[in-house]
Structure 1
Amino acid sequence: HHDGTPEVARVLVADDDDAFRASIRRMLYGFAVEVDEAADGAAALEMMTERPPDVILLDMLMPRLDGNALLQRMSDEQALRQVGVVVVTVRPDTAPPGHPVLPKQGLRRDQLLQAVRDAVGAARG
């Protein structure tokens, strides 16, 4: 943008927990962030293929296509390799290496914002 306004970052929340997706949406409300939601990995993949987000907040345990399978598919797709990945999980110890991880329990708004900002920055290079 030439008018100095920051571009809106697109965040896809891929998680089968409706309440958690809603809480993420609330935490990001009021920031220059557009939030999309997917309730499972297959839906997330479909949405990303149509319109790649800047960042995906990825739950590892999901129906139809789990987090690991989704990451694999993303690495196979040229257009999805640019998407920043932030893993959100109840068990941070099970998160795949190489991605920032946020705890689902007790997730703080500042933690979330920082992770999203960092991932957007990395995705946009």
Structure 2
Amino acid sequence: MSALPFAGLALWRSTGGAWAWWLTTVVVFGLIPVIDLFIGDDRRNPPEEAVPRLAAGGYYRWLTCLYLPAQCAALVVCCAVARAPAAYGHFHVEHTGGHHVRVATPEDPASPRLGESIWAFW
């Protein structure tokens, strides 16, 4: 699932067709729901009468509470790993201590000048 945007990029580069950028949207909102209609319900799910007992156990509560912190930690690690090959480890310090302090001022090189379009800035 996470590779779909990259697959769209690869298709766009190989074919040049702008339609390739729609790959993720078509798969997630078109293909997966259609497949779900044909496959139907997962019979391995617990029956409704077992749900209160499972909810009282605490295991599933902890899983749902730990999911978001685990995702945030994974994002931080991935960002650090992604910056490593570029030897740009000081990005965090410069970004928060430089850009965030001087954002939208003439001293900030990462902000466009007053009246400058996004196209001229980039």
TM-score (norm 2): 0.20
Structure with greater helix percent = 2
TM-score (norm 1): 0.20
Q: Which one has more relative contact order, counting CA pairs under 8 Å at least 6 apart?
A: 1
Structure with greater strand percent = 1
